[in-house]
């Protein structure tokens, strides 16, 4: 009888081959899975702009474009409204202070002048009449006072004589008392007339003073009206060039309406606009330079306007020394505005990448130059050529500085 033998359990050599093959498959799958998790974009290298990170001096300046303008502009507003009757000077003409540019006419103003003159004449006549009345009362009062004084003296003398005679019993008591009563009455009348005369004099002073004040006020008013009449002649407020003049013969000009401006050409300034990114760093008295015909001219930032419009703010710069001989209002210049002192730094050339990254990351080429990997960086100040690298890059590394619009969400760039 045959006996059935059981097979021994365990790994045989062929099993080791299967295991190795499985491990290899898992490794390749893992690599494929890992590589597929990195978004890749393929492109031709010569279509990109590639620049190297270098160590050097960072010049802390920005380049701005400015336009030449007169050092001052004086606006002309109409003091008085009216119809333009004459236009004596045209735009662009050099003028002196006080030159008549326009002549206006205003019938209402002419009527006001006539009314003021009539009122002044009536006031003057009233003053004359009042003065004559007070003068007559003053003469009459003084005449009455003189008469009362004379009567008082005569009655006093008569009373004193009768008093002596009465004491010697040479006259009757009735005669004595009558002279006494007449004397006392004369005293009272004198005091009354004196008081009335003093009051009339005081009233005359106050009344005439008030009338004089009213008359002076009316004369001043008339003078002001005459000045308004002179304002119908529109004059140049300063020496300079008549920049523009918005007025034609027959046109009605309203009071306070702007009709022109005078450009003061004794000096020039440069008006420029700067991106609001620099608003915290741009201050008064910063220095700047411009180049013209192989010469550099220095400027000083004189004024920073506080208002920001469309992401930009305005500044004024003035020349500190010489200025170009051929300078004219309206010319355009490129100006280097110095924001700070030069310093040692890693320099990243400027490019279109900044619009996509805001300076927070960049594509850095590997050592063999066959691909580039996205890397976080940190930049600081910038000028017209470079960004100052604060972190994330090293001297000698190469980066892609051209625009990243076509890269999408790629984190790795492979060159064909």
The answer to whether residue 35 scores a pLDDT higher than 50 is: no
**Is 245 in the same domain as 286?**
no
**Is 118 in the same domain as 222?**
yes
Give the domain-ending residue among 228, 243, 278.
228
Give the domain-ending residue among 314, 338, 362.
338
**Is 52 in the same domain as 90?**
no
What's the N-to-C CA distance of the chain in angstroms? 77
According to the model, what pLDDT value does residue 71 have? 86
How many residues are present in the chain? 416
**Is 223 in the same domain as 246?**
no
User: Higher-confidence residue: 107 or 8?
Assistant: 107
Write the pLDDT tens digit of every residue in 131-167.
Answer: 788 888 888 888 988 998 998 999 999 999 999 998 8
Is residue 195 within 8 Å of 220, Cβ to Cβ? no
**Is 314 in the same domain as 277?**
yes
The answer to whether residue 36 scores a pLDDT higher than 50 is: no
**Is 270 in the same domain as 320?**
yes
Closest CA to 242 of 85, 100, 67, 83: 100
For 34-55, the DSSP string reads: HHHTS-EEEE-GGGS-EEE-EE
CATH of the domain at 54: 2.40.420.20
According to the model, what pLDDT value does residue 32 have? 45
User: Higher-confidence residue: 260 or 244?
Assistant: 260
Q: Is the dihedral of CA 7, 10, 13, 19 positive or negative?
A: positive
Task: Specify if 6 maps to a domain.
Answer: no
pLDDT band at 13 (very low <50, low <70, confident <90, very high): low
Give the domain-ending residue among 338, 359, 394.
338
Task: Specify if 23 maps to a domain.
Answer: no
The answer to whether residue 222 scores a pLDDT higher than 80 is: no
Task: Specify if 245 maps to a domain.
Answer: yes
According to the model, what pLDDT value does residue 60 have? 83
pLDDT band at 34 (very low <50, low <70, confident <90, very high): very low
Number of structural domains the chain divides into: 4
Write the pLDDT tens digit of every residue in 110-128.
Answer: 888 888 778 877 877 877 7
- Report the percentage of the chain scoring pLDDT > 70: 91
Write the pLDDT tens digit of every residue in 292-339.
Answer: 888 889 999 999 998 999 999 999 999 998 888 888 888 899 999 988
Count CB atoms within 10 A of the CB of residue 233.
17
Distance from C-alpha of 72 to C-alpha of 132, rounded to nearest angstrom: 59
Average pLDDT over residues 236-255: 89
Count CB atoms within 10 A of the CB of residue 277.
11
**Is 112 in the same domain as 223?**
yes
**Is 333 in the same domain as 290?**
yes
| Full residue range of the structural domain in which residue 362 is found | 37-58+343-415
The answer to whether residue 5 scores a pLDDT higher than 60 is: no
Task: Specify if 356 maps to a domain.
Answer: yes
**Is 196 in the same domain as 126?**
yes
pLDDT band at 37 (very low <50, low <70, confident <90, very high): low
Write the pLDDT tens digit of every residue in 359-396.
Answer: 999 999 998 889 999 999 999 888 878 999 999 999 99
According to the model, what pLDDT value does residue 15 have? 58
pLDDT band at 22 (very low <50, low <70, confident <90, very high): low
Task: Specify if 30 maps to a domain.
Answer: no
According to the model, what pLDDT value does residue 96 have? 92
**Is 119 in the same domain as 190?**
yes
Task: Specify if 157 maps to a domain.
Answer: yes
DSSP one-letter code for 157: H
Task: Specify if 12 maps to a domain.
Answer: no
Distance from C-alpha of 386 to C-alpha of 2, rounded to nearest angstrom: 95
- Report the percentage of the chain scoring pLDDT > 90: 37
**Strand runs labelled E in 339-377:** 343-349, 361-365, 371-376
**Is 201 in the same domain as 162?**
yes
Write the pLDDT tens digit of every residue in 394-409.
Answer: 999 999 999 999 998 8
Write the pLDDT tens digit of every residue in 175-210.
Answer: 999 999 999 999 999 999 899 888 888 888 887 777
According to the model, what pLDDT value does residue 214 have? 76
According to the model, what pLDDT value does residue 29 have? 52
Task: Specify if 270 maps to a domain.
Answer: yes
Closest CA to 379 of 395, 367, 393: 393
**Is 90 in the same domain as 168?**
no
H or E element at residue 82: strand 82-87
């Amino acid at each position: 009888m045959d006996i059935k033998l059981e097979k021994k359990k365990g790994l045989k050599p062929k099993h080791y081959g299967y295991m190795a093959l499985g491990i290899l498959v898992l490794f390749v799958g893992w690599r494929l899975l890992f590589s597929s998790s990195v978004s890749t974009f393929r492109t031709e290298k010569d279509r990109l702009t590639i620049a190297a990170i270098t160590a050097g001096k960072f010049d802390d300046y920005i380049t701005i474009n400015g336009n030449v303008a007169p050092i001052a502009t004086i606006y002309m507003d109409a003091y008085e409204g009216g119809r333009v009757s004459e236009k004596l000077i045209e735009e662009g003409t050099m003028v002196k202070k006080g030159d008549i540019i326009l002549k206006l006419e205003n019938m209402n103003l002419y009527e006001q002048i006539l009314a003021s003159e009539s009122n002044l004449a009536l006031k003057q006549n009233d003053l004359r009449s009042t003065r004559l009345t007070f003068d007559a009362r003053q003469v009459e009062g003084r005449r009455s006072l003189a008469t009362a004084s004379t009567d008082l003296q005569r009655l006093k003398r008569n009373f004193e004589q009768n008093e002596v005679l009465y004491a010697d019993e040479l006259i009757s008591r009735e005669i004595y008392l009558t002279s006494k009563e007449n004397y006392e009455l004369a005293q009272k009348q004198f005091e009354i007339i004196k008081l009335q005369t003093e009051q009339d004099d005081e009233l005359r002073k106050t009344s005439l003073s008030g009338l004089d004040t009213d008359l002076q006020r009316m004369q001043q008013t008339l003078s002001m009206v005459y000045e308004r009449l002179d304002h119908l002649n529109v004059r140049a407020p300063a020496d300079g060039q008549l920049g523009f003049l918005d007025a034609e013969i027959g046109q009605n000009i309203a009071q306070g309406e702007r009709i022109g401006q005078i450009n003061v050409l004794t000096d020039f300034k440069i008006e420029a606009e700067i991106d609001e990114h620099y608003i915290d760093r741009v201050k008064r008295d910063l220095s700047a330079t411009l180049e013209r015909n192989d010469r550099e001219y220095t400027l000083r930032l004189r004024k920073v306007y506080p208002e920001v419009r469309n992401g930009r703010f305005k500044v004024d710069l003035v020349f500190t020394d010489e200025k170009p001989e051929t300078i004219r209002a309206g010319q355009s210049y490129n100006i280097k505005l110095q924001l700070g002192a030069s310093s040692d730094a890693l320099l990243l050339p400027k490019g279109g990448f900044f619009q996509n990254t805001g300076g927070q990351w960049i594509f850095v080429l590997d050592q063999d130059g066959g691909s580039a990997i996205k890397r976080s960086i940190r930049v600081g100040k910038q000028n017209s050529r470079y960004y100052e690298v604060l972190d994330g890059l090293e001297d000698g590394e190469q980066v892609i500085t051209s625009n990243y619009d076509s890269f999408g969400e790629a984190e790795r760039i492979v060159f064909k």
